[in-house]
Structure 1
């Protein structure tokens, strides 16, 4: 029975991956790491067969032995935390099975954004952020993105497994864009994409874009994204990694279902906010980086940048296709869920 170790299983994406794997491969032996016993109990209440361990991304005493014993390790936690990758590879290096062992690491297409904010909100920003990145055609450029790009230091760490200690180590990096939709995991089910924009627009008292808002991000439904992880696990369970590519040969997977411009999303969220009674008009104003950052600390990194990707590899190799509703179709539902979760009221 193949063993899987999941880091981030109580999170939005990690929990949805756990749910999909438990459903798709019920015979797997799954171990999930949780920060505390209460969250571990939430996992086992839904998935009694899942074994839990208590720890965090700094818990070398947990991560090293669990990674040593696993056939497949999946990270779905903080993709900018370097130590957990180091501990995973220390564990994988100790694996004595003599068989291929796999790391499926979650990063993000934040690696493609322009962090200077010099042209925040505009459709054209920089050589990196203006490009539509294809994970097959542009694989060499992706591997050689500058080290000062977001997520790149840890990605480079993943791309340097200790093969001299264990030549059977293989890896793939899944780099999702903005993720939307309701998750199916046992703990955190709510995405923050449009709900954060809704909250921030209400806080501002008026609809807004960062600058012109002509920039945009690719996006993907959390369920479609979890389908990709299930497909990769399925290939890892086959001889020699199946149809998937692993490691430097092309072990990089984008996942997207198109893209939307932030000016369009902002207008729609503003319209809904107005109809709910939170705003006095549907007017949308253009704000600068500093003002948006006051309203929401990470706002400029998302609402003011471009990050556009094309998931060719998953489609060609694995037959992956997104099948759930688009982000645009789910904006009203996402706002309703956030409103209920926070107990928000226009009257208040």
Structure 2
């Protein structure tokens, strides 16, 4: 694929912004001549990126499905961090690329951002328990189909729908599922993630870092810069014409390490105490009902996002040639970085 037209959504966000700056500074020869464009909401954001010399597409909201489809029909590759839970919006983009396939008969690719809460269990309520470590070489698509029959979940639904649509319209879909993301992003706007900053703000509000139940459940983590290089690696392979698994086999994990929720709370507590923002570095167990404050808009997702087991291994991602560089030391240092960002009022 020569000098592809690439569209990135969500570039004012944490993941999308970091992907954009990573690609702008790429060392891959195959990507240096790629034509990068961004999709943003509103003219004010569009003007910002145009001043940076970046081609810009503008929408007002995720509900403009016809416009999203039309925009997508102009691109060879779309990277979509924006619409993880907005199934119709993500699907409209894939349909638009399908229109382009009909027009030019060219191989097109759609890279979707997702998260490993999709394979998280519900150990506190007992509604679902998953005692396994998932590899991205497993049949993750098949697992998600069966899991969604038992418990529909918008982010998981988005994955399933766009994979099916991509197969129907001839677009190769790839999905990157990430665990807890930490570290300071390199984008122009939002610099921090959601999970850890949410817990930090709660610790500041209540004076103590908290975890749910016994906090023994286990998740994985990745630094946002390592995550962006996975997108970069995948994109380079695609542009170079190399085979990258797609469709039902095109689901990739991105872990680099793991933690237990009580350990995460301790990292927050230690960072807060060291910064003088918390009076104690002792942590506190709270009930799932008390934890509803972590996501008052969608409290049913609190167990998935802050108390579940979600253990994954990025075997297929590493087989692409992806080489994350951040270590356990970076993970530990990340608590202070995120805490300082929250104290400075950096938004997610």
For the superposition of Structure 1 and Structure 2, which TM-score range results when normalised by the shorter chain?
0.7 to 0.9
Match 1:306 to one of 305, 309, 314: 309
Counterpart contact for 1:33–1:55, Cα < 8 Å? no
| Matches for 1:154-173 after TM superposition, within 5 Å | 154-161=158-165, 163-164=167-168, 166-167=169-170, 169-173=171-175
Change (3 A) 1:280 1:186: closer
| Matches for 1:26-45 after TM superposition, within 5 Å | 26-45=32-51
Q: Could you list the runs of 5+ residues in structure 2 that have no partner in the other structure?
A: none
| Matches for 1:134-173 after TM superposition, within 5 Å | 134-139=135-140, 141-147=142-148, 148-150=151-153, 151-161=155-165, 163-164=167-168, 166-167=169-170, 169-173=171-175
State the shift of 1:59 in Å.
1.9
- Structure 2 SS opposite 1:144: helix
- Structure 2 SS opposite 1:200: helix
Q: Is it true that 1:109 corresponds to 2:116 in the alignment?
A: yes
CA RMSD after TM alignment:
2.3
State the shift of 1:278 in Å.
3.8
C-alpha separation between the residues in 1 aligned to 2:315 and 2:204? Answer: 38
Aligned residue in 2 for 1:324? 326
Aligned residue in 2 for 1:346? none
| More displaced 10-residue stretch of structure 1: 261-270 or 18-27 | 18-27
Taking structure 1 as the reference length, the TM-score comes to 0.87
- Structure 2 SS opposite 1:292: helix
CA-to-aligned-CA distance 1:195-219 (integer Å, 9 cap, x gap): 2212111212233221111112111
Q: Is it true that 1:264 corresponds to 2:271 in the alignment?
A: no
State the shift of 1:82 in Å.
1.4
Counterpart contact for 1:171–1:251, Cα < 8 Å? yes
- Structure 1 SS opposite 2:252: strand
More helix by share: 2
Change (3 A) 1:194 1:294: closer
Aligned residue in 2 for 1:122? none
Change (3 A) 1:296 1:171: closer
Taking structure 2 as the reference length, the TM-score comes to 0.87
| Matches for 1:189-228 after TM superposition, within 5 Å | 189-228=191-230
State the shift of 1:236 in Å.
1.9
> How many aligned residue pairs are there?
330
Counterpart contact for 1:101–1:170, Cα < 8 Å? yes
Q: Is it true that 1:274 corresponds to 2:273 in the alignment?
A: yes
Aligned residue in 2 for 1:87? 92
Change (3 A) 1:193 1:314: same
Change (3 A) 1:301 1:320: same
Q: Is it true that 1:187 corresponds to 2:189 in the alignment?
A: yes
Runs of 4+ in 1 over 6 A off after TM superposition: none
Q: Is it true that 1:70 corresponds to 2:75 in the alignment?
A: yes
Q: Is it true that 1:177 corresponds to 2:183 in the alignment?
A: no
State the shift of 1:127 in Å.
4.0
- Structure 1 SS opposite 2:93: helix
Counterpart contact for 1:34–1:56, Cα < 8 Å? no
